[in-house]
Structure 1
Amino acid sequence: MSVLVTEASEYHSKDFNWETLRQEIENDPSLNYHLLPFPSPQQEEQHSRDSIKAWQNFHIQHSSGKFFKERRYLLKEFPELVSCEDGCKVLEVGCGNGSTALPILRGNEKIILYACDCSNETLERAKEFVAASNVVSVEHRFHPFCCDFVTTGFPKWLTCDYCREMFALKGQNYLSDVREKRTHETDICCVGGVDFITLIFTLSAVPLQTMPTAIRECFSVLKPGGLLLFRDYGLYDMTMLRFEPEQRVGFREYMRSDGTRSYFFSLDVVRNLFICAGFIELEIEYCCVKSVNRQNGKSMRRVWVHAYGDRFLLIRISTD
């Protein structure tokens, strides 16, 4: 067994019960400010620009790549990435320094990986990170490109224009074929599109008000039957509880001193966001991991949301 597989197999996600943690947090008066309603946020257009700039500065500051460890657990958490067929296309949204892209490329030599980020500087670091792996056949399957998918959307070459038009009409003339065996002829002729999208600790970094638009963009470039693989910060994660009251910029939404922001998801919020965009829920759960700080010996309780979303197959409603 390879070192990569060995390390992935040791990953665990049920170290404690999330409901027990919730009760503890919500009964602690010192943490009550995390539960309070928040006034309506300001205009998000400026916030989005500021957020992009903050993340660009963050990645420049951490250009060595040591801040992010390679996410080798992904192959265990999302085994479809290992078993997908030759020529399978994956879109990694918000690739950062490549800590998600590299284990995917290593785990399956049949995958072609497109990776986007809003910062050219960050993409250069990702290219260097992948190149430094010295793994044969990795670099030529890695295709990074600069894109702020939240404000400008994905480039047209990821999917065909006709698919985008059909997606726009979804709410008017189309319905889901979820409960069928999916043998109907569809009106979508995806000559482009991707088989998988990985959205790993990316959505939490964009303003809450722009999340629905971001998720619809992801839906629009997935092939029918494609999967979106989601993992992000969960409600009452240790890092959420460390934020001070003045760092709140929304309900369950916080801004760090460097200007980067983070939202902490409940299962219901994730479910509603993705179902409203057209996804089918296949799996959603809290991953609860307890680790120990080696320096001070303190126990840390981490919470992430892990989810699969399946793209709807859309068929035209018959008028006969």
Structure 2
Amino acid sequence: MEVQGGGELENASKHEAEAEYHSHDFEWEDLKAKVEADPAFSYHLSPFPGHATTATTSPLPPSSSEAWRSFHRHHASGKFFKERRYLLKEFPELLNSKVCAKILEVGCGNGSTAVSILRSSESVTVFACDCSKDTLEKANEIISSTKGIDIKDRFHPFLMDVSKETFPDWLFCKACQSSLGKAAELLLDPSHHKIRKEHLVFLRENQCCVGGMDFITMIFTLSAIPFDIMPTTIEQCVSVLKPGGLILFRDYGLYDMTMLRFLPHQRVGFREYVRSDGTFSYFFSLDTVRELVHTAGLIELELEYCCINSVNRKNGKKMQRVWVHGKFQKPTS
């Protein structure tokens, strides 16, 4: 479920885009003070009716997954997303990874992240899931036709809605598969369509994952699902990550320009919004991300706001973008 991150830069040159993505043009605290002092933005700050400010429960609109599939169908040309070369600078571990590293991309969209990773090394293997069959086909088409990349046995896209389904058992290492048994079939509670937490605990405590994923990328993916599903989504990722492996995270940050553009009627929870096309978006604070990853047992290596000034080349309007950048490690013991 790749979302609309960085689309405003698509007309900039690659060099300019990379420079912008890797600078801190303003202080997040200054933006926070400005937003919170402006009455026009007060509806973004107030508690959501019936919900605590921690957003412990916020239902996903029933049509959300289909809305994302529809979104990808409408943008099937592949022009909407640009190759994310900047990620290799943000996450140099991908460039310096060992031979035969295995990477899982959760919510791959049309392959704008995977193509950069595959180009960076001839020995990495990328597993990539998305809820849209159309966008997976487009990703495979784009990557297969990219010069300089041989994807034979290196790119494995598979259909999966991470907000509702569990990873297929073949994604786990072989040692883990033998201990997993029928537990994988029980991970999904058919009566509530949610992952059973007790089974996730089973996975975390009983699987070694010595042959699991070296890296998991979550690039503008977690924000596309409701807050109350996020903990089990991260737990799932931890279950297929080998000890010492990294989750590489980038997503919408609190007070990003996109958040401030939402109207009051589009607000469906605390820091949660639905676009006019039915797609969902959450905006993260550092504290929220920190609590999510610590609860999942991950070690925080990096966590910060990335604050970027970009300019709409059509109308010259300045835009203040905020993303959250993070690196989190699965303990080795």
Aligned partner letter, 1:61: H
- Aligned partner of 1:180 in structure 2 is none
- Distance in 2 (alpha carbons) for counterparts of 1:68 and 1:298: 21
- Aligned-pair distance for 1:109? 1.6
- Aligned partner of 1:232 in structure 2 is 251
Aligned partner letter, 2:283: F
Q: Normalising by the residue count of structure 2, what TM-score does the alignment of the two structures yield?
A: 0.83
1:112 to 115, 120, 125: 125
CA separation of 1:297 and 1:136: change in aligned 2, threshold 3 A? closer
Q: Deviations over 1:81-135 (max 9, x none)?
A: 0011111000000001111110111112221000001121111111111122122
- Aligned partner of 1:215 in structure 2 is 234
Report whether the alignment pairs 1:265 with 2:294. Answer: no
RMSD value, Cα: 2.6
Report whether the alignment pairs 1:194 with 2:207. Answer: no
- Distance in 1 (alpha carbons) for counterparts of 2:148 and 2:223: 31
- Aligned-pair distance for 1:282? 0.7
1:94 to 107, 111, 118: 107
Aligned partner letter, 2:300: E
CA separation of 1:163 and 1:241: change in aligned 2, threshold 3 A? farther
CA separation of 1:251 and 1:296: change in aligned 2, threshold 3 A? same
2:29 to 4, 7, 19: 19
Q: Normalising by the residue count of structure 1, what TM-score does the alignment of the two structures yield?
A: 0.86
Aligned partner letter, 1:96: G
- Aligned-pair distance for 1:157? 1.1
- Aligned partner of 2:294 in structure 1 is 275
- Aligned-pair distance for 1:313? 2.9
- Aligned partner of 1:142 in structure 2 is 155
- Distance in 1 (alpha carbons) for counterparts of 2:84 and 2:148: 16
- Aligned partner of 2:307 in structure 1 is 288
- Structure 1 gap ranges (5+): 175-186, 315-320
Residues 98 and 130 of structure 1 are in contact (CA less than 8 Å); yes or no, is this contact kept in structure 2?
A: yes
SS of 2:167's equivalent in the other structure is coil
- Aligned partner of 2:83 in structure 1 is 70
- Distance in 2 (alpha carbons) for counterparts of 1:49 and 1:213: 19
- Structure 2 gap ranges (5+): 1-12, 52-56, 184-198
SS of 2:164's equivalent in the other structure is coil
1:254 to 273, 283, 292: 273
CA separation of 1:158 and 1:232: change in aligned 2, threshold 3 A? same
- Distance in 1 (alpha carbons) for counterparts of 2:220 and 2:158: 18
- Aligned-pair distance for 1:6? 9.6
Taking only the aligned residue pairs, the percentage that are identical comes to 57
- Distance in 1 (alpha carbons) for counterparts of 2:179 and 2:83: 34
CA separation of 1:73 and 1:294: change in aligned 2, threshold 3 A? same
- Distance in 1 (alpha carbons) for counterparts of 2:87 and 2:248: 10
**How many corresponding residue pairs?**
298
Report whether the alignment pairs 1:131 with 2:131. Answer: no
Residues 201 and 233 of structure 1 are in contact (CA less than 8 Å); yes or no, is this contact kept in structure 2?
A: yes
- Distance in 2 (alpha carbons) for counterparts of 1:101 and 1:211: 23
1:54 to 67, 72, 77: 67
- Distance in 1 (alpha carbons) for counterparts of 2:125 and 2:269: 38
- Aligned-pair distance for 1:151? 1.7
